[in-house]
Amino acid sequence: MVMAAEQVARTITRIAHEVAERHRTFDDLALVGIRTAGAPIARRLSDELRGITGVRVPTGALDITLYRDDLMRSQVGPQPILRRTDVDFSIDDRRILLVDDVLYTGRTIRAALDALIDFGRPRAIELVVLVDRGHRELPIKADYVGKIVPTSPDESVQVRLEEVDGRDEVVVER
């Protein structure tokens, strides 16, 4: 166990405070969570930010399956089910906070950046992750990190969330 429920909650609150600290205006912010786990984290961040700033930050969910670089490559193993992308606001000229649960190789984030840019031209994109487990394969770095968790490549980091799994926790499994 790397993070228990109360730690997950405190971490998300802390990230929200960091976001509030680093931005002077909040009207041009928007949160976009990467499905599946990034979406509920983005919604929680949105609630926290409203509590801190009083501004309701528009929040969307992005499915990056159609932008993956390993489509048609892996012939065995489970394939992610394609989910609906829900970004029902214009991202043009906004500062987008892209939210995911775990930052690992960086390939998911690369796909998400491509997907986002097909939606418009944001003024800036910042990256929020709950866990950074290292082993980057692309030059990508998070702006807000919940916790750095050193791992070996044969381990897997599981982020479980109330909305999906019925409880909050982060565990490393081998």
Residues that bind other proteins (CB under 8 A): 35-36, 39-40, 61, 63, 65-67, 71-72, 75, 78-86, 88, 114-115, 118-120, 163-164
Minimum CB separation of residue 36 from other proteins in Å reads 7
Element (H, E) at 107: helix 107-119
Nearer to other proteins, 148 or 164 (CB): 164
Nearer to other proteins, 54 or 77 (CB): 77
Element (H, E) at 114: helix 107-119
Minimum CB separation of residue 103 from other proteins in Å reads 21
Nearer to other proteins, 101 or 132 (CB): 101
Nearer to other proteins, 117 or 124 (CB): 117
Question: Which is it for strands 29-34 and 95-103: parallel, antiparallel or unpaired?
Answer: parallel
